Structures are given as structure tokens and as C-alpha cells.
Chain A
Amino acid sequence: MILADGVILGAEEQPCLLDELEDRINHTREKERLDTETVIAAIDQLGRRLAAGEFDGLIEAVGLGDKMEDLRSFTRLLSRDYLQRKVDVELGAHWDVPTVTEAAFGLNGTHTRAVPLGTLFHVAAGNMDFLPAYTVVEGLLTGNVNLLKLPQADGGATIWTLQKLIDIEPRLRHFLYVFDTPSSDVATLRRLAAMADGIVVWGGEEAVRAACSLAPPGVKLIEWGHRLSFAYLSGDWRAQTHQLTALANHIVRTEQLLCSSCQTIYLNTRDMTDIELFCEGFLPLLQAAREQHPMEDIGAAAAITLKNMASEVEAMMTGSAAEQPGKYRGRQCELTACEDSELTVSELFGRVWVKRLPEAQLLPVLRRQKGCLQTAGLLCDERDRERLTDLLIRCGVNRVTTPGGMSDVMMGESHDGEYALRRYIRMVNIEIPAAENHRTAPSLNS
């Protein structure tokens, strides 16, 4: 399926559309302008209608019926207030109004204006249900023309959402083209990439590498890759049952599948005994959280049980049982007391690594994951909070939260250390000629 000019087209129309797309986009960019207010008003209305249940039938039809609750909570991020604040924080309240820099130091003054990057080609990942639509929303907020390549398993939800948005605000239709071209159709992707000023790529290393190979020279590559997160516990954790319960809930609720999900629980210690004591103390909390949020996918639960069972039998057969790292098994959850300190992805689904990481080792160890670090859920004594927060930031962490709030959206937060909207605009300068002194202004070319 393709969405072009607000109309859904079949794949057979793709060659024809691609042939004329460049001209259409050029025409839009020459003649039309999309202001933030128009976009916000349309998204706000879509959000309100979603929250009111107006589209529930359609949501069921595209197979997202079981995600209804997530969708309702997601609509908060579509509200006028939220979007306006996002724009204000990321770009400034009057970002599209030119500012004047007076002439000084013998240099001419300028009008400085933030304008859209131009055309964005979004290569969306399939790891979150509403992500493809959301990345386009960010492109629209900044006034860009958006070409979206859908992830393979989209199920129609994105095209449907964006079509509704165009129904609400028809002026968006020339700023939005959606293609369900498979990743294997490199020729089409290359053509789309050639029309773009920026390629916005979401996904793992493989997806990013593939996007790099598509990008012609001069096209800005905007990468939102996968990340790793962890909890860092310092001081006496025993007294923090409430916070640890929140951490346990976070682990089982996200199934550790998000960038911001806790993969490893680090203790500020050198002593393996502390790790073992923690595992003994934390397992009942994790188990209790799991009982409140059981694994929904019986096939996944069975796969994990079977894999554990096979490793146990194999260990018995080969007599290697003693060499296995300390496992603390609960029902549908597990802690592993590890000897090493590396930050690695866990076994997911409520199965967490617990490792030692003394404060002095934080930087050298975490730096080994530079570029991949995201959230640290920090639990510590109040007097240590500032120092540890600062140290975690120096390690490369981009978000510091409470252990239970690692995956919560925070107001005004950046995305992996950057404000997304800023990456989708460019700053242009228009010289203010000063008749009396422009002849004396030094030239960079001189």
C-alpha cells in the first residue's frame, strides 16, 4: 500500500508515482508552507478522537485491539499542550520567527531564520507500534515533506492513522507519502533516498548500515539506533523496598524489550557476596511483580522454559553444572549473579543480569558501550545523588531516572541526547546589507 496525496494506492501505482514524485515535491516546496500551528491542531484533534474511542472499530480491524490501553495513554503525547511544549523546549517558542543579529566587529548583521531541512526520508523500525507515525509527526511539526518507508510488519495501522490526519487537515496531504516497499527493494529505496535532504533511520546496527549505503553524498543521516540501559544501586538497597518494587515492575512490564529497559542491575560493590545477597532479596520482589504482570505470550514462556530445561539437562550430561553462573530462578523471571561487569543485553522477559560495578570502575566499563548507552535508573543515598548523577553523565548516559521510571516519558526530555526537532531544521542567514560599511567587511575568501 502507498499513501500519496491523502489517497491509498496499490503497489502497482508505485513506478508511476516515483517517476513524478520529485516534481510533486518540488512543487510543494516551492509553493506551500506548513506552519507548526496547523500541524499541532490536526494532531490534537486526532488524539482527542482516538481517546474518545471514535476509531476503536478501525483499531480492532488493523489488529491492534489488544493495544487499546497503550494507545489511549499514547494520545497524551498527541495533545496540543504536550506538542506545543515539545516544540517550545526543543526549538524555542518562536522558532520560525527570524531573529536579527546586529552588525558588529565590522561585520554585517543577519536575519537568522530556522527553516525545514526540506524532505525527510524516514526508514521506520517495527519495534514500536506507533513509531512510524510518530517520526512523521516530528517531521511535520518542523514543516518538512515526509517520505516514510514502513517496517515490514506494520499491519496497516500507520497508513490508517496518517490518512485520518490528512482527513482532519487536508493541507498536510502534500507533505506526506507512505510506502510499504520491502527493505529488499533497494532500487526504490535508493530513489526515495535521492529525493531526500535527510534520512531518518530507526533500528539496529543493520538498519543503520543499510541506510548509510542508501544515502547519496550530502544527505544528512539522522540515526536513532538501539540503546542499552541499566539500573545502578549504591548504598544500602535493603531499606528501599518501594523503589526496588518499582524497578521489578518496570522489568516485567517492559519485558526488557525497550531501549530504556533495565538489562543489568549494577551494585556499587566489589564483593560478590553483595550480589548474591541482592539476588536473594530481589527475587521475591521480581516474582511478585511477575505475578501481577504475567507473560502474555504462552509460546514465548514455553520457549524460555524449554531452553532452560535443555541447558539444565545438557549441564547434567556433560557434568558442567557447577560451572554455570549463579541462577536465581523464579516463575517466569530469573536473576543471574555474574562475575563480570560488562553492560550487555539480558536474556529479556524478566531475566536480568546482576553485576558488580564499583564507582571507580563506572567510566572505564561503561565507556566500552559508548554510543549505545541510554538510561541509568539510579538508586542511592540522597547525599550521593548529585555526584553519581554527574559521574553517570560523564560515562555517556543520556537519561538518569528513578529505577522504576526508566521507561517513563518525561516532559521536555531529549531523545538519546538530542532534541529530535532540531535535527530536522536548518538555520539560514540572510545578510542585512549595511550600505555604509559593507565594503569594509572582511571577506572569508580574501
Chain B
Amino acid sequence: MKWMNRLFRYPLPYDTEGSNELFLRAVRENCRYQYLHNAKYRAILDGKGFHPSMLRTYDDIAALPVIPTLVFKHHAMYTLSPRRMPVKATSSGTGGAFSRVGFAWGDLRRGLSMVLRVVGYRRLFSLRPANYIVFGYKPHRSNHTAVTKTAFGATLFTPQLHRTYALRYTDGRYVPDLEGVIRAILRFSRSRFPLRFMGFPSYTYFAMRMLDERGISLRLPKGSKIMLGGGWKQFYREAVDKSAFYALAKKVFNIDDCNIVEFFGAVEHPILYCDCPRHHFHVPVYGRVIIRDVNTLAPLPYGHMGLVNLVSPMVMATPILSVMTDDLGVLRDGRECGCGLTSPYLEIIGRVGLKDIKTCAAGAADILKETGGSV
């Protein structure tokens, strides 16, 4: 796994252009491994008439067969035996089914190396202890979701004093406790240590709105930060304009938008995307994003909306080398951002789906439900 390890130790986390050759080698290495050790993956490549040796130039990566994340929801596709996978994570399971992805020790090492570099680049590590409000699930042995693991992981960026969770595990299910969170925020605001928030943007926004409606405006200790992750998916209709979010954070917590950081990732593509000071998700060296035409699946140039194909050679234990998410997105030239990073950045526009379709054809409602709900 020479090339894969090398890629994840690459010193400049956003030098995608300079790492293209290394990325190609790592992809080829991963592809070859999956092809030799995973019969299902081999069947897909054979079915598509593709062989790892066809990855000759960087542009050949776009020709690598892409597996929709939907497939991981229906099939366990592990390349390694369970005893060689210390961690198995699942997606959040919006719509009922969830993907299962296993990680080997080597995968976790590569992941850790990536997190240290990306988080370090964004200066989120600190030796100063902090209190944490997690707008997410309190870890529980029955909860294998990646979003829970990453939210917990984010509380390790500093020594932690307290952690309060918005979703508590009570009587076999998760219940939101925003009132408890509000009490904790008021308590922590009087502490001399910074307060850090981590979790779903939607819950964070709800809590800020609740405080605002009660006329509460706090001056949180210096160094306080809002970290967001997990996406808007469940609360898509409630999705708010980012600038409204930043304005409310300033008003309620006195947190400037430079101290608001958002993460993006998926269990089927466990690369840490972290927004830049201008709040754009630049692609780090560990992954590549290909936006594809919604009909032909042909790769699209910058600025065009399409299906989001994510490529990364991080994981050996599961063939998630090139996956298609159920998001619609646009990739933009990194130079347009102006933050100094030149790697392209990804904007997620929404989810694919058949929304608000009206029909009177008998039985069609079930067809729509099936198509809209399963992707």
C-alpha cells in the first residue's frame, strides 16, 4: 500500500494539481487490490470491460467504474474479513436503508493522517480546554453511524471539559433535548474557557433561533467556535441561507463567521472536506470530485450542475474507490474562491429525487415513492 500511504502523508493537503500523479498511482494500487480480493468488485469491473491496468494516465480515473452509494445500502461488499476490520460504520440511513463500510487498521491510519493535516490547516487544534455542545447523537454502542463518530472525534481537537448532546439515548431511542442544550449554553457562556459547537447545522440553527426568540444574546468566551457537519439532509426544507446563519451566530453568540467551520463527508467517501475561510469546500489531495451529466454520466466542466462522483483510494477494506452520491453538485475552479487555495471546490446544491410530482395515473404514486425514496 505504498502509494496510498504516501498520498495520505502528502505534506500540502490542498495541492491537488501537484499530487495528480501520486493520486493516480494510489488509485491504481487500490483498484488492483480490490479487483484481486473482492469478487463482487471484480464482477463489476469485468462487466464494464475495465481492468486496473487501464488506469494509465490521470484522466483515466474518470473511466473507472462508479458504484452508486445506493448499492452499499443493499449489499455488504467487504473486501477484507471482519476480523481485519476494527471499525464498521454506517450512513445515517435517511429513508430507511444505510450503507455499511468497513475500515482496516491501515485505512484508519490513513484517515488519521488526513484529519491531522486538514484540521491543522484550518487551525482547529488547541491545547486550551473547551466545553462542547454536540448537536448530534450521544455515542451509544448500538449507534454505528459515521456522523456520530466524527462528531465525537471533533470534540478531541482540544482537551475537553464537558460534552452536552442534543440527541440523548433514552429508552432505546434518540430524543432531542434542545432545552437541555440551551441551559448548558447559558452555563458554559459564563465559563472562562471557550465553547465549541459541533454537529448538524439544522439543530444548531434551531437552538440559535430559540435563543434569539427569547431575546438572549451572549458573548461567548474568546476562541469559541461553531463546527458544523452532517449536512442538511433530514431538514432540507428548513435549510437556510448561510449568510442568515452567520448573522444569527454573530447576534446570539458573538461568533464571527471566520470561527464557523463546516465539514462535509460521507461514510462511502470518508474524506474530510472542511470549508475555507470563505466557506467553500476545496477538494483535498486525498480525493477527487467528478461532476457528471445527469443523463449521460459524462464528466462536466467547472460550473455545471450534475451528479457528484467522489474518488478516493483511502479505504482498502471496502471498494469505495469511486462512488456516486445521491447529491447534485457543482465543482468550481479553486481560483474563483480567492482564499488562496487553488484546488477546485464543491458546492452541494441538493439531493436527487422526484419531488412534488403530480400524477393521476393509477398506481403511479407507488412507483414515484419507490424511485424517490430509494435513491
Contact = CB atoms under 8 A, between A and B. Distances in A.
Interface of A: 125-129, 153, 204, 225-229, 256-259, 261, 263, 297-307, 309-310, 313-317, 319, 321, 331-332, 344-348, 372
B357 interface: yes
Contacts of A310: 68, 70-71, 74, 375
Given A256-B364, A307-B371, 8 more contacts: A256-B361, A257-B361, A299-B352, A303-B371, A307-B374, A317-B40, A321-B47, A345-B364
Contacts of A125: 360
Contacts of B371: 303-304, 307, 347
B253 to A, nearest CB: 35
A345 B361 CA distance: 7
Interface residues of B, number: 48
Contacts, number: 138
Contacts of A331: 295-296
B89 interface: no
Interface in B350-373: 350-368, 371-372
B44 interface: yes
Nearest 7 CB-CB pairings of A with B: A316-B47, A302-B352, A345-B363, A302-B294, A257-B359, A226-B362, A127-B358
Given A298-B328, A305-B297, A317 B360 contact: no
Interface of B: 40, 43-44, 46-48, 65-68, 70-71, 74-75, 77, 294-297, 305-307, 324, 326, 328, 350-368, 371-372, 374-375
Contacts of B307: 302, 305-306
A309 B68 contact: yes
B71, B364, B372: residue with the most chain A Cβ atoms closer than 10 Å: B364
B361 A259 contact: yes
A303 to B, nearest CB: 4
Contacts of A257: 357-361, 364
Contacts of B43: 316-317, 319
B71 A299 contact: no
B359 A301 contact: no
Given A127-B358, A307-B374, A313 B364 contact: no
A305 B297 CA distance: 8
Contacts of B47: 315-316, 321
A227 B359 CA distance: 10
Contact of B353 (A128, A229, A303, A305): A303
Contacts of B350: 299
Contacts of A299: 328, 350-355
B71 A313 contact: yes
A228 B361 contact: yes
A261 B353 CA distance: 22
Nearest to A304: B371
B70, B295, B305: residue with the most chain A Cβ atoms closer than 10 Å: B295
A128 B352 contact: no
A153, A300, A304, A347: residue with the most chain B Cβ atoms closer than 10 Å: A300
B64 to A, nearest CB: 13
Nearest to A331: B295
15 contacts: A225-B362, A228-B363, A257-B358, A259-B360, A259-B361, A261-B361, A298-B294, A299-B354, A301-B295, A307-B375, A315-B47, A317-B43, A346-B367, A348-B359, A348-B368
